[in-house]
Amino acid sequence: MGFCLFNNVAVAARYAREKLRVRRVLIVDWDVHHGNGTHLTFESDPNVLYFSIHRHDNGKFFPDGPLGSAESVGKNGAEGRCVNVPWPHGGMKDADYLYAFERVLMPIAREFDPELVLVSAGFDAAEGDPIGGCHVTSRGYAQMTHLLRSLAGGNLVIALEGGYNLSAISLGAAAVTAVLLGME
């Protein structure tokens, strides 16, 4: 349903699990849209924790429907392995995202103890994006990356997913890269 031909992060997670024998993978999706394909791929896999923070607008924001709601938690023995933070509307800022990271994602992730963290790094929740309608700054993206680096012994992969404002994508990607390089 999205704009992708292949779900790069889902393919990477499956490869890591099957070929590299990584036991536990955390997928963090900060793209403004719910990653319904990733969610459906891993909703029954207790060894993959999928965390999505996205606009939901009560199921009216693309990809629409109930799948990205807080009640969509996984199934078939993997209940709790899909964690959705569905924003009720646009306008969310750094403080909103960081609060969700610190109060929801990080405690669950620490307990899950991943060996690898993969990020679906869409920058369409960024300030200035014409579709997302949110206001995450490059500093916000940098701080989220900094938090994620503390997991999995620093085994962190950032996969560029999207965004619709080249300046916002550039600023966000540069800030995330600086964190990965150990810069302030």
For the chain, give every domain's residue range. Answer: 9-89+99-130+143-180
Helix (H) or strand (E) holding 57: none
**What local confidence, expressed as pLDDT, does residue 1 receive?**
60
**Rounded CA gap, 86 and 101, in Å?**
13
Q: What is the reported pLDDT for 19? A: 97
Pick from 28, 7, 9: nearest CA to 141: 28
The Cα–Cα gap between 90 and 101 comes to: 18
How do the pLDDT tens digits run along the chain, 184 residues long? Answer: 656 667 899 999 999 999 999 999 999 999 999 999 999 999 999 999 999 999 999 999 999 999 999 999 999 999 999 999 999 999 999 999 999 999 999 999 999 999 999 999 999 999 999 999 999 999 999 999 999 999 999 999 999 998 999 999 999 999 999 999 998 7
Q: Nearest-5° angle of CA 60, CA 61, CA 64?
A: 65
The residue type at 57: D
| Fold topology of 9-89+99-130+143-180 | Arginase; Chain A (3.40.800)
End-to-end CA distance of the chain: 38
How many of the other CB atoms lie within 10 Å of CB of 3? Answer: 9
What whole-number distance in Å separates Cα of residue 88 and Cα of residue 150? 29
- Residue-wise pLDDT for 24-53, tens only, equals 999 999 999 999 999 999 999 999 999 999
Q: What is the pLDDT of residue 162?
A: 85
List, in order, residues 6 or more apart from 32 with CB less than 8 Å away: 54, 55, 122, 124, 125, 129, 131, 132, 133, 134
Output the pTM of the full model.
0.96
Residues in the chain: 184
Q: Which strand ranges, in their side-by-side order, compose the sheet holding 48-55? A: 82-87, 48-55, 25-29, 116-122, 156-162
